[in-house]
Each structure stands twice: as structure tokens, then as C-alpha cells.
Structure 1
């Protein structure tokens, strides 16, 4: 049996802030969950976006890989995705030492085909987006979180989506970050639940896109 074992994890909780690892660089995020506090290493390509967008106290969902040292009995966590989440219960005071993380099933993959011919929609090749199992029946908006899209404003688009969904009471609609959608030069990129893809989306355009895909039912005249 090898010294190290690897598995996937998924955690949800309250973001507490960033922490340094072996020096002054803030490479870790601190997360308070129902089972205690965890420190998760952030990959280099995600750090600029998370530094700008994460606010202590907000709820997030973190998924990635955990590395268990069977000799030392230590676990190291590394994130591959960090997305906003909806608070659903109170958390206890964070524990001083993190416990081991329960592995989850490998993430499923869902092919997304672009549809429609609107000016802001992309007529591009189909991307492959990473989704957690068990979310298939939930409306999900996918936003590319690769570094090129982040540099082009993906973080601001995510914030705008959060705001518009909250204003409309669409708390059951999830926002999820994905890997590369193969349209880096046309970022930021997002895919709506009906598989319509939008490229070069700007924060000020988000409201119109949400209205289009989640129309408010007209009041019936009495």
C-alpha cells in the first residue's frame, strides 16, 4: 500500500478568509462547515478571481482533491472549483483542527450544445462542463473560471448573476464554475440551463439574459 492516497471532496460552508502557506503568499482559503474548519489550497489560476470576489461570511461550495498521508495521518486539500452557495443552516463555532473529508463520487460530465442565433450567443463547438452528481434536476448556470475568462471579468459576471437571481427570488438556480469552454478569447463565457451559451458577456447585460431565460409570469387581469 502506498504512502499517499487521493480522492475527491466537496465541501459547503462559510468563507472565513485567506491564509498564508509557508511564507507570506495567501494560498489557502479558510472554510467553516458543519464538521469544523478546513484550509484548502487554491490553485494559482483561481487566486486572482477569488481575491477580488470572495467576502468573509459568504457561503461557498468548494470541490477538489484531497491527499492523505497514511504515515503521518494528515490530509491536504486542493480546490479545483469554488462557487457561490446558498446558506441553509447555522454553523457551529469552527474547530481548531480540520477533520478528514468524506470523499464524494467523481464528478459527472455533461456535454453542452449551444442553441439559438442571438447576437450575444456563441455559435461554437460544444464545451464539456464539470457538474456534481445529484444536481441534474436543478437549474444551473455555468460560468467559465479559467484564467483568461477571469481576466476578462468572469468574477464581475458571477456577482451580477448572484444579484439578479436574488432580486427575482430564484434561489433554486445555481451558479457553477467550470473548466475551459474552448472559447478563451471570447470570454467571459456562460451557459444557461437550456444550453444557450453567451460569450463576451458583460455584467450590465446579465439582467437581460436572466429575464430572457427566467421570465416573470404576467399577472392575470381580474
Structure 2
């Protein structure tokens, strides 16, 4: 069995199983396919009360490859609700939201000392002023391994990464992406 970690973001499709509160799996719609993810026992009761079909969620977990069958099994250890997309359709129509953009912000001392905190505040203000806060996830990270260009922000849009950007450039790229 091969093991690896995964981080997926998609639309929660609902629980799989017969007995309410005792569901072992849930469906997750990704851009390319729908997958089933196993829910650990300690999360089942809580999730059955809190997740709503159609909601966007981020799932972290372990991916297992069964070398005999070639089947990949996903088991969640962390599930974060992200809310609903503004262009929400019913789960039957499977209208998927565009993937959210993500901004990684280094929180190590080198970046903080070189003005990282002020730039982050400025970025959050500009995003809020332009109504983009709901379309981007700001993730505080440890060292991004590019200390020479501190303070460091990395903008991830889809599969693209942009580095060494200032807040205005980040917002400009986001506006282009979302329009």
C-alpha cells in the first residue's frame, strides 16, 4: 500500500450510506471528477450536523493506493467548510465554482521585520475595498524559502504561482482572473 497526503477543495455532494449519523463516506465534486472520502469515526456525528450539500469544503487526509486492485482510497483527517459560492446551483446541476485563489504569506521573523505585517494589512484592506475578500484565501505560512526577496507573498491562481508581488499587483491579477 502506498500512502500520501492530499489536500482537496470541492463541493460537498452529501453523505453516502443508509443510516443517518453513521455515514462512513461523503461525496466530493472536484473539477475533473467526483470522489468518495472516508470520514473518521470521531468526525462523523459533527459533520452530519454541520455540512450542507452544495457547500464548498477543503479536505486534508491520507491517500492510500491498494497495490493489488490499483484502487485509491481517500480518508479525511481535517474538513474545513468554505461556505457557498455566489453562483450556487442545486447539487443536481453540478455547477462548480471557480477555484478560489490563495495567497501564501510568510510569517517568519525575516519577512515580518522587512515590513510583511504592514503589507499584509495593506493587502487585506485593498481586497476588502474592492470586494475581493470572499474570492481569495489568505494562508499564513512558515518560511517560503525565498528570504532574499522578503517580505514574501505567493499568489496561487489555479495551477499558476506568482511570486515577489506587491499588494497592488496581487489585486490586479485577482481582478483579471475573476472578470
The TM-score with structure 2 as length reference comes to 0.48
Higher share of residues assigned helix? 2
The TM-score with structure 1 as length reference comes to 0.39
